[in-house]
Amino acid sequence: MLRSVISLLLCFSAMVPFLKYTSAIGDVITCSGTVPMRYRSDKISITDFGGVGDGRTLNTKAFRAAIYRIQHLRRRGGTLLYIPPGVYLTESFNLTSHMTLYLAKDAVIRATQVSKP
């Protein structure tokens, strides 16, 4: 479990320099390799919260709503957030404990910063 969390954090930390004050989509950063997953008893999809993987729609509200829901579900065994194939454009969002962010094959989360903090 700790190993998979560390792998995920390392992957996302590699994206941080590309999020600072940019309004254009930068180079693609990928996390390759297989990370062993712990089974999660509850599963939700980003599309349940209005997520659209067309590469143009900003999905920040969908990601934040899904993660808020996971935080407040507090299901025993945690929750898996499923990202179906597509390109999901989003600003920054915070992950939470007891969740797995699962990207299907050909699913991409593309970071952008539309407004300056």
* Structural domain for 23, as ranges: 2-111
In a domain, 37, yes or no: yes
**Alpha carbons 70 and 86: distance in angstroms, whole number:** 22
In a domain, 86, yes or no: yes
Does this model's pTM top 0.75? My answer is no
Span 31-52, pLDDT tens digits: 555 555 566 778 899 999 999 9
**Number of domains the chain is built from:** 1
6-20 pLDDT, tens digit each: 555 555 555 544 444
Q: Is residue 116 part of a domain?
A: no
- The answer to whether 25 touches 110, Cβ cutoff 8 Å, is yes
Asked whether residue 13 is domain-assigned, the answer is yes
Tokens standing for residue 110: 């593309």
